[in-house]
Amino acid sequence: MGGIVWNEWARLMCLTSAFVIFVGGVMGVFQPLPAFSVLGNLKGLYALPVPLLPVILTVLGIMVWVMEYPLIMSDYFNSSPSYMPKVAFYIPVAVLSMLEAQTINGGVYLAIGIVAYMMAVRADFLKQASSSGSFGHKWTSGSDLDAD
């Protein structure tokens, strides 16, 4: 049986979350609905004529979509060194999307995508460690060095 290809699953989850965050942001521009009643009291986030948080979430949804869209990626974007900058960018996006009621599902999907990217990094690390022995080098005790 094959294992889960974490990076492919993470990319598709992030694409789904980008769509939900974008659509929720557009809906929030016309009918702002904060996730928590305390946020409605903040004048800067939900000021008329255009509420700021839904506009920011619309732009962030487009940015996540642009980062994830090419389903057939080049080798660099499909390797584990490129996952950590994505994770670092997606964490604040997920937190911000949890503040708007229309984008909460997108934030949850993005959080799942973040965990899946972390699992992809972990799987790549374990694969490299197993192919090169015990984490890339052989540990020897002092008595082994004295025998030579």
- What confidence tens digit (pLDDT) does each residue in 78-104 have? 666 778 888 999 999 999 999 888 999
Looking at the predicted structure, is the pLDDT value of residue 71 above 80? no
Q: Which helix (H) or strand (E) holds 56?
A: helix 52-68
Type of residue at 56: I
Asked if 35 and 54 touch (Cβ cutoff 8 Å), the reply is: no
Percent of the chain predicted with pLDDT > 70: 73
C-alpha neighbours within 13 Å on the C-beta side of residue 17? 31
Q: What's this model's pTM, rounded to 2 decimal places? A: 0.78
Q: Are 17 and 110 within 8 A, CB to CB? A: yes
Three-class DSSP category at 102? helix
pLDDT in tens, 125-147: 887 778 776 554 555 555 555 55
Q: What is the pLDDT of residue 90?
A: 95
For residues 98-119, average pLDDT: 93
CA distance 14 to 112: 8
Please give the residue that has the higher pLDDT: either 102 or 77.
Answer: 102
The partner residues of 34 in beta bridges, in order of sequence, read 100
- Looking at residue 1, its pLDDT comes to 40
